[in-house]
Amino acid sequence: METEKETKKPNGSGLKRLIRATSCSWLGLRAAWRHEQAFRQELLICLVMIPTGLLLGENGLAKALLVASILLLLIVELLNSAIEAVVDRIGTEHHPLSGRAKDLGSAAVFITLLLIAVVWLLVLFA
């Protein structure tokens, strides 16, 4: 028979888990703002581009595509920053796999920027 301690989830459950998860998310966003220049730059770009997308989109779908593509940039940048933090935590010596991990994260950001350009061009000019 399981005891109460064995069945408890480490992060709680229900509302308690949601509150803890939200707190961790805010800590992550604060860390990105404090430590990641690229995230700060992209967030400032988003603050301009999101209202622009809402104004320029002709319908709900167009607006959603324009805004979602911009928000995707922040998501990918956060993941890229997380990869870089883990690689840096492991060690400072150069290792080909560490370099590859960082390059792949950077490539993901680059592809996201290309996606934004394609979405905006197609939605606004096609």
Residues designated catalytic: 77
Alpha-carbon gap, residue 102 to 94, rounded angstroms: 12
| DSSP labels, 59-111 | SHHHHHHHHHHHHHHHHHHHHHHHHHHHHHHH-SS--HHHHHHHHHHHHHHHH
Q: Give the alpha-carbon dihedral of 29, 31, 35, 38, to 10 degrees.
A: -10
